[in-house]
């Protein structure tokens, strides 16, 4: 019995030795390319592949079962394409059976174990190359983006760069769920521009797409992707945005004599029916080939290796397993992913990477990571020069233009012109500048329909010709709109604009009659009146408490019984008003306090009067334009003004597609009343000659304003948009046109062309310069208000004096028992003589009741005394600073004499 068992065992071993060795593979059911890659590689190295398919990710029991089945089949190693927890389970069983376990992808849950060989570059290799690359790029601030569930083993050294000992600021953001936009928008809002992205290959397209959708694929953004598969994707949609994108590549594509790569590519395409290029292979497929090659090389080193049928139940290890694994770790092999060198733990720490950058010309190698050193070797020829030669140099393009001043004109000439010589204008000169930079030739074709999409989905005009390859470029006042951009591509904008309102300049309106009152605001006038009253009261109070202001009314009396004070309310207000009017007053302060207050008031009035006079001229000479409307809403509500736009174009489309109720109503009104026009020049003529407001783009509006001085722009812009050069979708010229336009902008060439065609040629500059005018004279219309104030003031004064005269006449008629008429006639006779400055006191003769002359004299004496008191008081005020008693006595004597001479 024992002899029989021994014989069968020897026989089975000989059979195994004579048959091909088996390499096991465990992959998920949807990993068809990986299964084909293992079969092709095993066949190339004279192995047999035994593949097990795991139905669902995370099925640990199913994975364990397949490992045991492969062990029972007598495999010499297992290539693991699962990753994650499944790889840990495979590793545990292989460790027990001492069966070589080869992993082909980065394992987030990796723990140090001698029985595994990882073909994917180790976290240590990535940390070294990333740290050196960021230092080379001089990123002082950068953000680490990682997908949830993906470990940060490859970013450990970068996280340390955020410590105090490093001059770097490191930010960490997790991309979770199926929508990465919120995280990316937050990063953009915080001003982050440099990113290191660590995510599985299957998430790359989603990260790129969401970054582009939130506007983070522009020139100011830079990315480093850890996945070696980044440049196996189709990057055409990102290459023209200007983003700086750096990635790694393991395969050596520069070696055109790499027969293994071409053989593998050819065989793989034959098996799958695909037509992949070597640079389109995912890293996992190449690592499967290299894993098989490592096993093959170790088998050749370790001769007489015999496979065994192992069982998970018996816990028996393979005798050759540990030896084979050691040879695999120590043996140096050159595979598709360059040198396969492992450390004692089976990790690839010494890896060679190609560093690639995304450019408008495609993926370009900028350097290499080899022998743990970074070598940057950028192309000597600039990217712009490469693309010019490759794409536009010596080509002839068909360019669509439109006859729309100032962008395109038919050239004025006495001779018959042909070809491109027939046209001139801003865009004609612009395309000439572009051709000088990029080296292409061009032929013009006129197309007045800029292009739009009809209700049936068909395109018209320029857009249609570009889409059907009947033209290469369209350059005119072609507005970049969402509808047009869905059908064609546009270059970077060469001009920014908006919709404005063109209207005729209203006639000048003369200043208002009382415009001189507008120099100061109402508040200032109110406060001026209030402060004069308040200061009058203050002067009365200060004057009454200052003893020097109490003066002797009769200087001839040395010891008067009474003192008088000049600061009555009327005198105080008169002093203040006289200061404001710059005329002064006969009232002069004597004490120190009133003088100080008066001096401060004079200073205040000097400032106020100077400010008033300095500003008055402008208010009297400026004639304002009074517009019938200032906003779109006011125009819409106007009953006398019509409005419209060009029938075909983005301006009309703006009103038609607007969500504003006002704009929608205006559009319906334009169409209903047939206010839309065929061309801009028709709308300009209507705006100049009728009550018509024309909506047009601000650049065209500025052009017409320079040539029609009686037109102006009312209000601001209704929107913001840009002009661009149209071309077909995914045009190979777009990037180069963009670069050339940016070059012209930076050099100021576009602004120069704009000044030439807007302000110089074809009647430009007519209204731009200020015309010399004679010195503005102030006519009667400017000064009418001052005359009115003077006349009204005089009339008020005359009215008050008449009332005062009538009141005096009334008192005398009552006092002396005469008629009012008699006293009024006598008063008017004296006033109308206009001669004499002395007025005698008149009264009729009175007959005393007792008939005695003594009584009459007594009554007359009383009147004389009252009159003399009045004369004395007046004379005293006139001579209060004189101390000559003789002068006073003489005045009194004259008064007595005149009184006595009157009968």
Residue ranges at the known binding site for L-glutamate:
479, 484, 650-651, 697
How many angstroms separate the CA atoms of 183 and 180, rounded? 6
CA–centroid distance for 803 within its chain = 72
How many angstroms separate the CA atoms of 626 and 160, rounded? 68
Orientation angle between helical segments 204-213 and 181-189, nearest 10 degrees: 50
Contacts of 262 (CB under 8 A, 6+ apart): 278
Tokens matching residue 573 = 């207000």
How many angstroms separate the CA atoms of 751 and 404, rounded? 19
The answer to whether the beta carbons of residues 474 and 724 sit under 8 Å apart is: no
Inter-CA distances, 837 with 831, 872, 890, 898, Å:
10, 17, 18, 13
3-state helix, strand, coil in the chain (%, to 5): 45, 15, 35
How many angstroms separate the CA atoms of 128 and 158, rounded? 9
How many angstroms separate the CA atoms of 621 and 639, rounded? 32
Angle at Cα 267 formed by Cα 264 and Cα 270, nearest 5°? 145
DSSP 449-461: ----B-TTS-B-H
Residue 364: name the closest of 239, 261, 207, 278 by CA: 239
Q: Give the chain's length.
A: 903
Residues that constitute the known binding site: 479, 484, 650-651, 697
Q: Look at the alpha carbons of 786, 788, 792, 795 in this order and tell me if their dihedral is positive or negative.
A: positive
How many angstroms separate the CA atoms of 473 and 710, rounded? 37
How many angstroms separate the CA atoms of 898 and 553, rounded? 24
How many angstroms separate the CA atoms of 717 and 902, rounded? 88
Torsion of CA 320, 322, 326, 327, to 10 degrees: 10
How many angstroms separate the CA atoms of 312 and 802, rounded? 135
How many angstroms separate the CA atoms of 407 and 700, rounded? 9
CB atoms within 10 A of CB 184: 23
Angle at Cα 321 formed by Cα 317 and Cα 323, nearest 5°? 130
How many angstroms separate the CA atoms of 700 and 679, rounded? 12
Cis, peptide link before residue 406, omega less than 30° from 0: yes
How many angstroms separate the CA atoms of 463 and 258, rounded? 47
What is the pairing mode between strands 373-376 and 362-370? antiparallel
Burial 311-320 (b: 16+ CB within 10 A, else e): ebeeeeebeb
What is the pairing mode between strands 22-28 and 333-335? unpaired
The answer to whether the beta carbons of residues 187 and 139 sit under 8 Å apart is: no
How many angstroms separate the CA atoms of 236 and 226, rounded? 20
Long-range Cβ pairs for the range 35-41 (8 Å, 24+): 36/268, 36/271, 36/272, 37/268, 37/284, 37/285, 37/288, 37/289, 38/79, 38/288, 38/292, 39/271, 40/264, 40/267, 40/268, 40/271, 40/289, 41/264, 41/288, 41/289, 41/291, 41/292, 41/293
How many angstroms separate the CA atoms of 323 and 493, rounded? 67
How many angstroms separate the CA atoms of 187 and 180, rounded? 11
CA–centroid distance for 284 within its chain = 45
């Amino acid at each position: 019995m024992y002899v029989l068992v021994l014989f069968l065992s020897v026989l089975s071993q000989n059979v195994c030795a004579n048959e091909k060795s088996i390499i096991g593979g465990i992959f998920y059911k949807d990993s068809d390319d990986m299964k084909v890659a293992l079969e092709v590689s095993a066949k190339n190295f004279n192995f047999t592949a035994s593949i097990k398919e795991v139905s669902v990710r995370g099925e640990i029991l199913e994975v364990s079962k397949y490992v045991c089945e492969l062990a029972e089949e007598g495999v010499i190693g297992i290539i693991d394409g699962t990753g994650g927890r499944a790889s840990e389970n495979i590793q545990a069983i292989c460790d027990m059976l001492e069966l070589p376990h080869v992993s082909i992808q980065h394992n987030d849950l990796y723990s140090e174990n001698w029985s595994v060989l990882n073909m994917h570059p180790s976290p240590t290799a990535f940390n070294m190359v990333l740290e050196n690359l960021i230092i080379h790029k001089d990123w002082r601030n950068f953000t680490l983006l990682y997908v949830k569930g993906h470990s940060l083993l490859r970013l450990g050294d970068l996280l340390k760069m955020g410590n105090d000992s490093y001059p770097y600021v490191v930010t960490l953001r997790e991309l979770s769920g199926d929508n990465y936009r919120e995280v990316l928008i937050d990063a953009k809002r915080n001003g982050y521009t440099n990113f290191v992205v660590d995510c599985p290959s299957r998430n790359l397209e989603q990260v790129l797409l969401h970054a582009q959708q939130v506007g983070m694929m522009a020139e100011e953004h830079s990315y480093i992707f850890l996945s070696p598969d980044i440049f196996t994707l189709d990057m055409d949609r990102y290459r023209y945005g200007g983003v700086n994108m750096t990635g790694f590549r393991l395969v050596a594509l520069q070696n055109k004599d790499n027969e293994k790569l071409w053989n593998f590519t050819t065989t793989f395409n034959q098996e799958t029916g695909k037509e992949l290029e070597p640079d389109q292979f995912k890293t996992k497929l190449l690592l499967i080939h290299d894993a098989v090659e490592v096993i093959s090389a170790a088998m050749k080193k370790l001769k007489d290796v015999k496979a065994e049928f192992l069982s998970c139940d018996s816990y028996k290890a393979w005798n050759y397993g540990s030896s084979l694994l050691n040879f695999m770790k120590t043996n140096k092999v050159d595979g598709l992913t360059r040198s396969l060198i492992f450390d004692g733990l089976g990790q690839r720490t010494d890896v060679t990477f190609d560093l690639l950058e995304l450019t408008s010309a495609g993926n370009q190698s900028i350097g290499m990571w080899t022998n743990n050193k970074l070598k940057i070797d950028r192309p000597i020829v600039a990217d712009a020069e490469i693309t010019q030669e490759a794409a536009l140099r010596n080509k002839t393009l068909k360019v669509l233009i439109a006859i729309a001043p100032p962008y395109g004109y038919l050239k004025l000439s006495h001779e018959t012109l042909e070809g491109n010589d027939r046209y001139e204008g801003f865009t004609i000169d612009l395309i000439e500048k572009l051709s000088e930079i990029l080296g292409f030739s061009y032929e013009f074709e006129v197309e007045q329909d800029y292009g739009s999409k009809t209700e049936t989905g068909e395109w018209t005009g320029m857009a249609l010709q570009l889409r059907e390859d009947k033209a290469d470029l369209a350059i005119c006042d072609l507005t970049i709109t969402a509808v047009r951009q869905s059908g064609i591509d546009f270059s970077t904008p060469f001009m920014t604009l908006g919709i404005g309102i063109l209207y005729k300049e209203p006639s000048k309106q003369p200043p208002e009659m009382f415009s001189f009152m507008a120099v100061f605001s109402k508040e200032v006038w109110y406060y001026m009146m209030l402060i004069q009253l308040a200061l009058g009261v203050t002067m009365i109070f200060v004057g009454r408490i200052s003893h020097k202001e109490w003066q002797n009314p009769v200087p001839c009396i040395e010891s008067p019984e009474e003192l008088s004070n000049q600061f009555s309310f009327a005198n105080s207000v008169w002093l203040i008003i006289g200061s404001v009017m710059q005329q002064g007053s006969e009232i002069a302060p004597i004490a120190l306090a009133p003088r100080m207050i008066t001096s401060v008031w004079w200073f205040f009035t000097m400032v106020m009067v100077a400010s008033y006079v300095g500003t008055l001229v402008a208010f009297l000479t400026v004639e304002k334009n009074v517009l019938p409307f200032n906003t779109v809403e006011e125009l819409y509500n106007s009953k006398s003004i019509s409005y419209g736009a060009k029938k075909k174009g983005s301006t009309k489309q703006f009103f038609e597609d607007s969500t504003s109720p006002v704009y929608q109503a205006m559009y319906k009104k334009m169409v209903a009343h047939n206010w839309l026009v065929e061309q801009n020049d028709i709308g300009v003529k209507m705006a100049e000659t009728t009550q018509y407001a024309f909506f047009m783009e601000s650049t065209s509006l500025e052009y017409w304003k320079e040539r029609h001085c009686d037109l102006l722009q009312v209000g601001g812009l209704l929107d913001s948009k840009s002009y661009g050069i149209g071309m077909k979708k995914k045009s190979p010229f777009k990037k180069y046109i963009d670069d050339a336009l940016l070059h012209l902008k930076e050099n100021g060439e576009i602004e120069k062309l704009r000044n030439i065609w807007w302000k110089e040629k074809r009647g430009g500059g007519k209204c731009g310069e200020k015309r010399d005018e004679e010195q503005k004279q102030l006519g009667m219309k400017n000064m009418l208000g001052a005359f009115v104030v003077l006349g009204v003031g005089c009339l008020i004064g005359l009215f008050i004096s008449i009332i005062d005269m009538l009141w005096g006449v009334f008192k005398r008629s009552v006092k002396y028992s005469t008629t009012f008429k008699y006293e009024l006639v006598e008063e008017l006779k004296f006033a109308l003589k206009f001669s004499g400055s002395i007025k005698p006191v008149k009264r009729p003769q009175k007959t005393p009741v007792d008939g005695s002359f003594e009584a009459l004299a007594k009554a007359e004496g009383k009147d004389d005394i009252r009159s003399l008191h009045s004369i004395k008081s007046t004379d005293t005020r006139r001579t209060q600073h004189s101390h000559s008693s003789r002068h006073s006595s003489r005045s009194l004597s004259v008064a007595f004499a005149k009184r006595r001479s009157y009968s």
